[in-house]
């Protein structure tokens, strides 16, 4: 069932303890079903290209499936309003902003998005999901450590086993903190994520008994889910979307 939806841009206020400047707010794209009801909340985590057309389309697609979805601008501190395409220059610019992010600030921004969803009467309060791609795929793995996140979908998040945002131990070391179910999606032709790194992620999830599934798509490259990129792989994207629907169905 594809639902009629409505979309808007909202502002998220951060908790006083994490706010680095007065009146700082994070912009976020919100999509929700028009029909009244009670819906789970999903946080959509951007690629290095900002909350661009692809991320907005994903947010809308999730809302059409019966969720209230929100995509916070994770580069709000570095470049307010930033969104771009997929040229080599765009990639270089986006990577530069991603390198300036910090894990603590990303978690604060995501929690603020969750808190905003909690304030909406139509949103269920007993568990949220997140989904992220590329940079956001790594962020989704980090976000899975938040107590409110019961289902996390991580698409081709590079660097999970080798680093974290702002420095410190790699994000994979936080695997024991994951609170819910995690699905991870990778393409076997992705030059930014080795088979050994995928195996390390899966081994950690198994070691700490985290409910999970790891999907490896033969012939798929980085960005295979994005139909605006040359690396789009319809076969892999279609299967991955079915898996995401199953994962988020646990929240209904």
pLDDT (tens place) for every residue of the chain, 252 residues total: 789 999 999 999 886 545 556 678 999 999 999 999 999 999 999 999 999 999 999 999 999 999 999 999 999 999 999 999 999 999 999 999 999 999 999 999 999 999 999 999 999 999 999 999 999 999 999 999 999 999 999 999 999 999 999 999 999 999 999 999 999 999 999 999 999 999 999 999 999 999 999 999 999 999 999 999 999 999 999 999 999 999 999 999
Classify residue 232 by burial, with Cβ atoms within 10 Å: 0-12, 13-18, 19+. middle
Contact (Cβ atoms closer than 8 angstroms) between residue 150 and residue 251: yes
pLDDT at position 169 is 98
Element (H, E) at 58: helix 53-64
pLDDT at position 206 is 98
Structure tokens at 226: 């994005």
pLDDT at position 153 is 99
Closest CA to 71 of 85, 50, 90, 91: 50
Contacts 24+ apart (CB under 8 A), 113-119: 113/12, 113/26, 113/28, 113/43, 113/70, 113/72, 114/41, 114/43, 114/146, 114/148, 114/149, 115/12, 116/10, 116/12, 116/28, 116/70, 117/41, 117/43, 117/68, 117/70, 118/41
Residue with tokens 């951060």: 14
Task: Using alpha carbons, list the distances in angstroms from residue 108 to 64, 104, 116, 139.
Answer: 27, 6, 12, 12
pLDDT at position 17 is 47
Angle at 98 between CA 94 and CA 103, to 5 degrees: 160
**What letter would DSSP give residue 56?**
H
pLDDT at position 207 is 98
Name the region of 144 (left: φ>0; alpha: ψ -120 to 50; beta: rest): alpha
Catalytic residue IDs: 134, 190, 222
pLDDT at position 21 is 61
Question: Which residues touch 240 (CB under 8 Å, ≥6 apart)?
Answer: 155, 185, 215, 217, 224, 225
**Confidence (pTM):** 0.97
Task: Please say whether the dihedral angle defined by the alpha carbons of residues 66, 142, 134 and 210, taken in this order, is positive or negative.
Answer: negative
Cα 33 to chain centroid distance, Å, stands at 20
Distance CA(3)–CA(74), nearest Å, equals 27
Distance CA(131)–CA(42), nearest Å, equals 7
């Amino acid at each position: 069932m594809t639902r009629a939806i409505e979309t808007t841009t909202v502002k998220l206020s951060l908790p006083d303890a994490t706010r680095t400047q007065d009146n700082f707010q994070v912009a976020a794209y919100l999509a929700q079903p028009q029909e009244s009801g009670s819906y789970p909340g999903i946080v959509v985590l951007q690629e290095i290209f900002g909350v661009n057309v692809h991320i907005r389309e994903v947010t809308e697609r999730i809302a059409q499936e019966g969720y209230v979805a929100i995509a916070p601008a994770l580069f709000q501190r570095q470049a307010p309003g930033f969104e771009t395409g997929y040229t080599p220059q765009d990639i270089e610019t986006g990577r530069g902003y991603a390198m300036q992010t910090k894990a603590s600030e990303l978690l604060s921004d995501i929690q603020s998005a969750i808190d905003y969803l909690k304030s909406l009467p139509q949103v269920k309060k007993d568990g949220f999901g997140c989904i992220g791609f590329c940079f956001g795929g790594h962020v989704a793995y980090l976000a899975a450590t938040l107590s409110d996140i019961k289902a996390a979908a991580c698409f081709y998040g590079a660097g999970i086993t080798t680093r974290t945002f702002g420095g410190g131990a790699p994000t994979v070391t936080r695997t024991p903190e994951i609170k819910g179910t995690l699905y991870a999606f990778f393409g076997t032709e992705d030059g930014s994520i080795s088979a050994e790194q995928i195996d390390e992620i899966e081994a950690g999830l198994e070691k700490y008994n985290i409910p999970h599934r790891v999907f490896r798509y033969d012939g798929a490259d980085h960005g295979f889910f994005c139909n605006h990129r040359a690396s789009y792989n319809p076969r892999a994207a279609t299967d991955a979307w079915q898996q995401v629907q199953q994962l988020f169905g646990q929240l209904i």
